[in-house]
A and B are shown apart, each in its own frame.
Chain A
Amino acid sequence: MVGSPVLFVAIPLLAAFIIPLTGMMWKNSVRVIPGLVLAFMFFLSISLMGYVNEHGTIVEVLAGWKPPIGINLVFSPFTGFLTTLMTFLGFIVWLYSYKFKRNVDFEPSMKYFMLLMLLVTGSVGIVLTGDIFNMFVFIEIVSISGYGLTSFYTRRDSAEAAFKFLFMGAIASTFLLIAIMIIYSQLGTLNIADIAEKMPMMDHKLKVLSLVFFILAIGVEAEIFPLNGWAPDVYTEAPGPIGAAFAGIVVKAAIYASVRLVYTMYDFSGAFDLFIIIGLITFIMAETTALRQDRLKRMLAYSSIGQMGLVMIAFGIGTKEGVYAALFLMFNHAIIKSLLFFSGSYLVFNKKNKYIKHVNGMGKYLPITSVLFTIGAFAIIGLPPFAGFWSKLAILTAAADNKMVVLIAVILIISILEAVYYLRVVNRIYFYDKKEKTEPKKPSLNALVAMISLGVIVLVIGFYPDLISGILDRAAADLLDKGNYIKDVLTLNK
């Protein structure tokens, strides 16, 4: 083994504590170190993925106590896939924002990069941990870094967005604690695998109610319909790359948490239907709301929420194809939505309110950024040959195999709306005349590299989806194999 899953948490935290010290000596270190750490995490996850493919799931115990006593980290094909995705995106977000914050003072910029790093760390922690209370701690880490990052710009209405987020997050964490305590009071353990094994012993009523509290708590971060009021505000007011980080990293972690609950911890079959219902409502509400937005980032935010609804639907289908589709969709969404946020925030760079009309005629001034935005828009609509098509095909096939004809119809009808609002923006980029006098800001080199690498991934996956379908297949099989997860964790021979 080249590394260990614990380094995903230990190294960033060490770095976070070191950064204030090095920042006193060498100011640039506050930018460089988080990047190095994120790159390290990405390569670590890749090397661990290689190991996992050969030797099977890694279960890392902490403090030398085997589960269920100690906390453990699980790096399986499924969690490994998500970890790789998140750390990659984290690195890309860092790369994109490396110069983005040049004009900001030293201290806020230090905080920006530190919070970004810990946001990624917390999300990775949510995914890796095998203990529900530990998951709660990581959720709080993610939330608080989220509050800090959202309110980064002091001049905008960012505090309002952050407060809404905090309000929802605080209520959610309360109910998360209640749910954890209900489970603990019945089963006497906090380890997910142990809980999953003992779950049949639990009283049915308490099982249902604890799951309800869990859904409420995790649903806030996962942006499901009635709980996502904060999300568009946060995406709008946070710095551009942070929108990408939320869409690509935080929400993925929350979705992971809910999936882990339903697939591994609980043994309800009805929970899958609930996933479909919630996902469908989220999808419909978000996409229809996005249709009438006049601010670019807000539109992207609603679109992101809608896509997450689609992911929930795919997970709710519950078959291997469904999980495969959901994972594919998560991957695509992470890449494409980041691309859209990145290029979109340059298209409306110097504008205060970032209205959609500000992109008018940008095709002429920012050709590469515009093309990348267009590729992203086409991909997220699901037009072949871009990456989004394959995931859409996968989810529809999975739904069709379960004879969910109405579901397919609804997804497709709503997809048309999605196409409409994205194409409206694309049309504006190329076929409207720019009215404002202000010169658009050219993307700096690092931002351009970040965007182009995302665009290339979109194209490559579009033309050659086999590149990741093997990984996704293994991940899907891993998620569905509940017995194996329990066995891996509880019969640990270290």
Chain B
Amino acid sequence: MKKVIVLISLGILGFYLIDIFLGIGFGVQHFTAGVKDLYLSNSKDTLKVSNVVTAIVVNFRGFDTLGEVTVLFLASTALGGILYKKRHHVGERSVLFPASRVVMSGAKLLFPSIVLLGAYVFIHGHLSPGGGFQGGTIIATGFLLMLLTYRNYSVSHNRLVYFESLAGILFVSIGLVGYFSKGSFLENVLPVGNMNELFSGGVIGIIYIAVGFKVAAELTGIIYTVLHEKD
């Protein structure tokens, strides 16, 4: 009965959705006076940022990103609260099975390069695909690898908090510096440099580095919390 209702309603919903989006069309631009071109041109001319997505994420719509970082922060906070137990850090492991020596040494070998890759990704966020989120996630997967491989690998909770907080403070502070010096929150205060160079885009690079650290710390924290949730 329930399934029938669900199927019928999903059918109708699907019909409407398909109807809408086929009407919208694929691969064509529908609006004439949208903000797309403004973003593209401003990204190139004003900010000198190659990766327009980065320019949007960090600068044009940097406020969204601040919110997004906050969402992750909140998720890790809420998660810690949800899974909170008094005996929290008493070495409980939930590794699937002990890793073999090959895996262990492989992981040890891979870990620095993963972290390096992540750092590369977020440092070059404004030049190439990738950025703080991607880089941070990659670093977090590095930690994940270590956590899964080594039974006793532990990440200092306090260190995570430091990274997380300092990165967040850095982000907001850059925004506030923009607010106090230029009159607008998150406004670029540094020289924008030249296109396609590492030091271009003003504060974008710094913010993305902060985001990268923050995301890495938060995701590692989330994984750590969930992983050690075993009773």
Q: Do chains A and B touch in the complex (CB under 8 A)?
A: yes
Is A417 close to B, CB under 8 A? no
A70 CB within 8 Å of chain B: yes
Name the contact of B82 in the complex, choosing from A112, A125, A134, A148 (C-beta under 8 A): A148
Contact size range, B: 35 or more
Q: Which among B33, B74, B167, B184 is the interface contact of A141 at CB below 8 angstroms?
A: B74
Set A14, A144, A148, A186: member contacting B173, Cβ < 8 A = A14
Q: Are A61 and B184 in contact (CB under 8 A)?
A: yes
Name the residue in A115, A182, A188, A205 with the highest tally of chain B Cβ atoms < 10 Å from its Cβ.
A188
Quick one: given A64-B188, A206-B20, A209-B16, are A17 and B64 in contact (CB under 8 Å)? Answer: no
**CB-contact partner of B67 in A24, A70, A137, under 8 A:** A137
By a CB distance below 8 angstroms, the chain B residues around A147 are 78, 82
Decide if B24 touches A185 in the complex (CB within 8 Å): yes
Complex interface bits, B46-88 against A, C-beta within 8 A gives 1, otherwise 0: 0000000000000111111011101101110111111011101
Which of A137, A147, A159, A182 has most B Cβ within 10 Å?
A: A137
B81–A111 contact, CB under 8 A? yes
* Contact yes or no, A63 B186, CB < 8 A: yes
| 445-494 of chain A: CB within 8 A of chain B | 494
Contact of A111 with B24 in the complex, beta carbons under 8 Å: no
Which residue of chain B has the shortest Cβ distance to A15 in the bound complex? B172
Q: Which residues of A contact B34 (CB under 8 A)?
A: 187-189
B31 lies within 8 A of chain A by Cβ: yes
A144 touches B185 (CB 8 A): no
Contact across chains for B67 and A125 when beta carbons are under 8 A apart:
yes
Q: Tell me whether A63 and B178 are in contact in the complex, defined as CB-CB below 8 angstroms, given that A6-B185, A20-B165, A186-B30 are known contacts.
A: yes
Surface stretch bound by A, among B35-43, B98-106, B136-144: B35-43
A118 to B183, CA, bound (A): 24
A144 x B74 contact (CB < 8 A): yes
Q: Does B162 contact A (CB under 8 A)?
A: yes
A182 to B86, alpha carbons, bound, how many Å?
Answer: 47
Given A70-B60, A133-B61, A188-B36, CB of A159 within 8 Å of CB of B82? yes
Q: How far is the CA of A118 from the CA of B69 in the complex (A)?
A: 13
- A186/B31 contact (C-beta < 8 A), A111-B78, A115-B81 known: yes
- 6 pairs, CB–CB < 8 Å, chain A vs chain B: A9-B63, A18-B169, A60-B185, A71-B64, A137-B71, A203-B23
A-side residues, CB < 8 A to B, are 4, 6, 9-10, 13-14, 16-21, 24, 60-65, 68-71, 105, 107-108, 111-112, 114-115, 118, 125, 131, 133-134, 137-138, 140-141, 144-145, 147-148, 151-152, 154, 159, 162, 178, 182, 185-191, 194, 198, 203, 205-206, 209, 494
